């Protein structure tokens, strides 16, 4: 048998199997979950079309767009993308035609945000402000509710007019429909409130009337909140009752929604175990099977490799898998899996740094590991025109910046030599990967290693390079990274003082009481590493569920354990410090900072801001408060770990420049302030695309 087929089709038979919906067929079991990218806004949707076309070419079975509002009150924010007119339908044809030309299928998500809206026109079942929006919504009248239903139906009709293969009705994540389902947010006493049969009328009316309006041969996905993860969330009986009613009422597929946006449980961050919520979909599958309902169910959240997806399908957890961010990271995920090249998949590390964090900052989505995501038309890796254009590059430093530059240059056809003083590629990523909850960095390193092999980069490890070694190259790219900043604290030559490199890379012994100086990304990671003592709940689902207080919704409504989170006792007593006043970890990711802070608080890490570091001595760390250096006191500790930021390592670049050589500086070597892997990779990719 053909080797490729053997490793592709045979390894993922369930994932690659078509799904017959009767009136149409989906070519495999991969649904690209809805993601807002920022490309949805405005009148020109050509970039959105290019983004989806690339994923359709990658053989994604069925894609769902980011959310489009059915009307103005349903906007997520002012002037958000909306589908309510024939004009809008015409504008969207560029998207649907591009997808269909590439052999794909696409559904439009109908998103009414209700009280989550970031604008003053917000409407909701009751006049109750959401904790995550500054606007108090207007309470809808009964006629107002009718108008919303008609808007949903109209939106679906227009989507069909635009050429979409279906719609997804967003019924989860705490948005408008969800707000009607919970007595916590729906305190109405008319026909749309009261007991559950009345509260669930809204989604049932929307589904039934939409089905009637669009006809039987149009995909209608309903995103069902299977576990709300908020106080006052639905009971399992309620979720099952609704799921069955939606299926019988005309849904073609039921997708899984996990957690309201206001939930205080992480649901997609990198520290969440892979497929951590698939068991909820499995429970629903069992309920459906018992009731003879065959409507396919889609499992979701933290499914990021073909192995995990295949296992879920093989074990009958669901009939399809939803992957959203993994298809930002690699548009050719499915194609590579089918071709037996799963080891070349650029795996989503669930960092949120360039996708969700961007959206929350009103920036265009991208992807840390794939800067081309949502930039398909503008960041293009063109092969060199001819052998004459082929140049010989030296890239020094095999961190993310150097690896990206080297592989993009080699892919384009140049001769590339990559040097690193270390015995392995990856630079600082090798420290990130040992932090509990950051295991996905192993995948990034695996991918980069394969890219180096596939593109033919010539790698020279264990080679600390000097300027004199770099003769005979047309151009040199310096990606030598950073050195830790010296905080110059009196007494820092004490034997109890270590750097983050000593702790994470060299695994030097650390005492039971630790003071961590610096509360940036690295300070937080070091604190997590020290309190967890090597045990990561990311690879231990029951422990992770206990830590965040997640339980079976059949045991407690909303799936929140009545006893709350049960964190395991910390391995060490850690104090995390910074000189700035204010909240520690302010500079961490918009969508993940709260998770890091909560995790450390649960592990009883003491967080202190606004201090001066006076001295390190046998007693520990002597600190004082504020400009007046008041409240002088010792923080008793056996070890002090310095995480006081980083400075560029530019010795090589300076020496090369002094010799008159053309040098390109990227990553930490270019600028260490606010450096992260996202910036390092993006900068390297753009340089290598342009050279
Ligand atoms: P580096 O990764 O520092 O690589 C530089 C390389 O150059 C090194 O391998 C070094 O050996 C080599 N080198 C230096 N001089 C020479 C020479 N003369 N000859 C040969 N080789 C040389 N970023 C994120 O975006 N998200 C995170 O979650 C995240 N977590 C982190 C956690 C930890 C614990 C740490 C330490 C960092 C983390 N980072 C994270 C930051 C991220 O790793 C860095 O921003 C990124 O690695 C910088 O990339 P770089 O290629 O510029 O440099
Ligand atoms: P950082 O985020 O810049 O934090 C440096 C810390 O050191 C700050 O808390 C700073 O706070 C303190 N500091 C600065 N100068 C000091 C001095 N002279 N003496 C004592 N303390 C000093 O940098 P980092 O933690 O080293 O991380 C490096 C980069 O890696 C960051 O840019 C970060 O984005 C990235 N990273 C990201 C993640 C992630 O999860 N996204 C994780 C790890 C690292 P005060 O000045 O208030 O004391
Ligand atoms: Fe995944 Fe991070 Fe890329 Fe978002 S930015 S798609 S979370 S790798």
Instruction: List the end-to-end C-alpha distance of the chain, in Å, as a whole number.
Output: 42
Q: Quick check: 188 and 126 in contact, CB under 8 A? A: yes
Mean pLDDT over 665-671 rounds to 97
Identify the residue whose C-alpha is closest to ligand 3 atom 3: 367
Mean pLDDT over 288-295 rounds to 98
Ligand 1 mean position to 517 CA, how many Å? 20
Token pair 């520990």 is found at 620
Reported as a pLDDT band with limits 50, 70 and 90, residue 261 is very high
Of all atoms in ligand 1, which is nearest to the CA of residue 668?
Answer: 52
Ligand 3 mean position to 390 CA, how many Å? 32
Token pair 């960095």 is found at 441
- Out of 3.40.50.720, 1.20.58.1610, 3.40.630.10, 1.10.20.60, which CATH number does the structure's domain 387-484+647-690 have? 3.40.50.720
Q: Quick check: 247 and 295 in contact, CB under 8 A? A: yes
* Domain definitions of the chain by residue range: 2-360, 387-484+647-690, 497-533+571-644
Helices (H) and strands (E) in the chain, counts: 22, 27
Check whether 309 has a pLDDT greater than 90: yes
Q: What is the mean pLDDT of the chain?
A: 96
Check whether 541 has a pLDDT greater than 50: yes
What distance in Å separates the CA atoms of residue 423 and residue 429, rounded to the nearest whole number?
14
Q: What is the pLDDT of residue 639?
A: 98
Give percent of the chain above pLDDT 70. Answer: 99
Establish whether residue 365 lines the binding site of ligand 3, counting it when its CB lies within 6 angstroms of any ligand atom.
Answer: no
Ligand 3 mean position to 269 CA, how many Å? 10
**Ligand (nearest to CA of 515):** 2
Establish whether residue 652 lines the binding site of ligand 1, counting it when its CB lies within 6 angstroms of any ligand atom.
Answer: yes
**Ligand (nearest to CA of 586):** 2
Establish whether residue 354 lines the binding site of ligand 3, counting it when its CB lies within 6 angstroms of any ligand atom.
Answer: yes
Establish whether residue 421 lines the binding site of ligand 1, counting it when its CB lies within 6 angstroms of any ligand atom.
Answer: yes
Establish whether residue 610 lines the binding site of ligand 2, counting it when its CB lies within 6 angstroms of any ligand atom.
Answer: no
Ligand 1 mean position to 482 CA, how many Å? 7
Q: What is the pLDDT of residue 516?
A: 98
Condensed to tens digits (0 to 9), the pLDDT of residues 336-369 reads 999 999 999 999 999 999 999 999 999 999 999 9
Ligand 2 mean position to 365 CA, how many Å? 24
Q: What is the pLDDT of residue 6?
A: 57
Condensed to tens digits (0 to 9), the pLDDT of residues 457-483 reads 999 999 999 999 999 999 999 999 999
Helix, strand and coil content of the chain, in percent to the nearest 5, comes to 35, 20, 45
The Cβ-side half-sphere exposure at 439, using a 13 Å CA radius, reads 15
Condensed to tens digits (0 to 9), the pLDDT of residues 112-125 reads 999 999 999 999 99
Q: Which residues contact 687 (CB under 8 A, 6 or more apart)?
A: 405, 477, 664, 666
Ligand 2 mean position to 191 CA, how many Å? 55
Pocket test for ligand 1, best of 371, 418, 428, 483 (most atoms within 8 A of CB): 428
Of all atoms in ligand 2, which is nearest to the CA of residue 486?
Answer: 18
Q: Which fold has domain 497-533+571-644?
A: FAD/NAD(P)-binding domain (3.50.50)
Ligand 3 mean position to 365 CA, how many Å? 10
Establish whether residue 350 lines the binding site of ligand 1, counting it when its CB lies within 6 angstroms of any ligand atom.
Answer: no
Establish whether residue 676 lines the binding site of ligand 1, counting it when its CB lies within 6 angstroms of any ligand atom.
Answer: yes
Establish whether residue 504 lines the binding site of ligand 1, counting it when its CB lies within 6 angstroms of any ligand atom.
Answer: yes
Q: Which residues contact 10 (CB under 8 A, 6 or more apart)?
A: none
Establish whether residue 358 lines the binding site of ligand 3, counting it when its CB lies within 6 angstroms of any ligand atom.
Answer: no
**Ligand (nearest to CA of 524):** 2
**Ligand (nearest to CA of 592):** 2
Tokens at residue 581, please? 């006043």
Task: Tell me whether strands 62-68 and 30-32 are parallel, antiparallel or unpaired.
Answer: parallel
Check whether 5 has a pLDDT greater than 90: no
Tokens at residue 215, please? 């006809």
Establish whether residue 351 lines the binding site of ligand 3, counting it when its CB lies within 6 angstroms of any ligand atom.
Answer: yes
Token pair 């300070």 is found at 523
What distance in Å separates the CA atoms of residue 419 and residue 421, rounded to the nearest whole number?
7
Check whether 493 has a pLDDT greater than 80: yes
441-455 and 400-412 are packed helices; what angle lies between their axes, rounded to 10 degrees? 30
Q: What is the pLDDT of residue 1?
A: 42
What CATH number has the domain spanning 2-360?
A: 3.20.20.70
Reported as a pLDDT band with limits 50, 70 and 90, residue 7 is confident
**Which residues, listed in sequence order, are joined to residue 168 by a DSSP beta bridge?**
109, 221
Ligand 3 mean position to 373 CA, how many Å? 10
Condensed to tens digits (0 to 9), the pLDDT of residues 401-419 reads 999 999 999 999 999 999 9
Check whether 3 has a pLDDT greater than 70: no
Of all atoms in ligand 1, which is nearest to the CA of residue 651?
Answer: 18
Reported as a pLDDT band with limits 50, 70 and 90, residue 389 is confident
Q: What is the pLDDT of residue 42?
A: 83
Residues labelled as active-site residues: 175
Establish whether residue 66 lines the binding site of ligand 2, counting it when its CB lies within 6 angstroms of any ligand atom.
Answer: no
Check whether 388 has a pLDDT greater than 90: no
Check whether 160 has a pLDDT greater than 80: yes
User: Regarding predicted confidence, which is higher, 229 or 659?
Assistant: 229
**Ligand (nearest to CA of 370):** 3
């Amino acid at each position: 048998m053909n080797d490729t087929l053997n490793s592709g089709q045979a390894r993922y038979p369930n994932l690659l199997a078509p799904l017959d919906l009767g009136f149409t067929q989906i070519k495999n079991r991969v649904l690209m979950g809805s993601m807002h990218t920022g490309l949805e806004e405005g009148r020109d949707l050509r970039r959105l079309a290019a983004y989806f076309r690339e994923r359709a070419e990658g053989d994604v079975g069925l894609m769902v767009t980011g959310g489009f509002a059915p009307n103005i009150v349903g906007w997520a924010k002012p002037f958000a993308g909306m589908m309510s007119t024939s004009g809008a339908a015409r504008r969207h044809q560029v998207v649907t035609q591009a997808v269909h030309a590439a052999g794909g299928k696409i559904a439009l998500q109908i998103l009414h945000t209700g009280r989550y809206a970031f604008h003053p026109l917000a409407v909701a079942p009751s006049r109750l402000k959401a904790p995550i929006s500054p606007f108090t919504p207007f309470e809808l009248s009964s006629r107002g509710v009718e108008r919303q239903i008609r808007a949903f139906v109209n939106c679906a009709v227009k989507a069909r007019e635009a050429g979409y293969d279906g719609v997804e009705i967003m019924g989860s994540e705490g948005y408008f429909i969800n707000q009607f389902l919970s007595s916590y947010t729906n305190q109405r006493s008319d026909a749309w409130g009261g007991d559950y049969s009345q509260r669930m009328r809204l989604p049932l009316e929307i589904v039934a009337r939409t089905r009637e309006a669009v006809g039987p041969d149009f995909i209608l996905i309903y995103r069902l909140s299977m576990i709300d993860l908020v106080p006052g969330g639905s009971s399992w009986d309620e979720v099952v009752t609704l799921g069955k009613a939606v299926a019988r009422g005309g849904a073609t597929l039921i997708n899984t929604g996990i957690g309201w946006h206001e939930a205080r449980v992480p649901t997609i961050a990198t520290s969440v175990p892979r497929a951590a919520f698939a068991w909820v979909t499995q429970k629903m599958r069992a309920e459906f099977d018992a009731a003879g309902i065959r409507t396919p169910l889609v499992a979701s959240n933290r499914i990021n490799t073909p192995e995990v997806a295949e296992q879920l399908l093989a074990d009958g957890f669901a009939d399809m898998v939803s992957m959203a961010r993994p298809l930002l990271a690699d548009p050719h995920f499915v194609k590579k899996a089918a071709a037996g090249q799963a080891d070349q998949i650029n795996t989503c590390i669930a960092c949120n740094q360039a996708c969700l964090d961007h959206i929350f900052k009103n920036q265009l989505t991208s992807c840390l590991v794939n800067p081309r995501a949502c930039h398909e038309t503008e960041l293009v890796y063109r092969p060199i025109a001819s052998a004459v254009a082929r140049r010989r590059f030296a890239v020094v430093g095999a961190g993310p910046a150097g690896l990206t530059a080297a592989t993009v240059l080699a892919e384009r056809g140049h001769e590339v030599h990559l040097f690193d003083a270390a015995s392995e590629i990856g630079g600082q990523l090798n420290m990130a990967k040992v932090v509990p909850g950051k295991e996905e960095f192993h995948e990034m390193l695996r991918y980069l290693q394969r890219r180096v092999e596939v593109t033919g980069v010539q790698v020279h490890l264990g080679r600390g390079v000097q300027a004199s070694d770099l003769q005979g190259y047309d151009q040199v790219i310096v990606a030598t990274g950073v050195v830790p900043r010296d905080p110059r604290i009196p007494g820092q030559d004490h034997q109890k003082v270590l750097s983050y490199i000593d702790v994470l890379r060299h695994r030097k012994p650390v005492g039971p009481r630790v003071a961590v100086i610096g509360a940036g990304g690295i300070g937080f990671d070091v604190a997590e590493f020290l309190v967890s003592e090597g045990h990561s709940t990311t690879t231990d689902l029951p422990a992770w569920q206990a830590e965040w207080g997640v339980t079976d919704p059949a045991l407690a409504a909303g799936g929140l354990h009545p006893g709350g989170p049960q964190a395991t006792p910390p391995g060490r007593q850690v104090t995390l410090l910074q000189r700035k006043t204010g909240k520690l970890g302010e500079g961490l990711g918009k969508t993940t900072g709260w998770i890091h802070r909560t995790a450390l608080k649960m592990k009883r890490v003491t967080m202190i801001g606004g201090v001066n570091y006076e001295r390190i001595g046998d007693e520990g760390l002597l600190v004082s408060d504020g400009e007046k250096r008041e409240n002088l006191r010792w923080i008793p500790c056996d070890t002090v770990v310095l995480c006081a930021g980083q400075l560029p390592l530019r010795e090589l670049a300076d020496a090369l420049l002094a010799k008159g050589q053309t040098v390109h500086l990227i990553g930490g070597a270019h600028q260490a302030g606010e450096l992260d892997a996202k910036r390092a990779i993006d900068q390297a990719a753009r340089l290598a695309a342009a050279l």
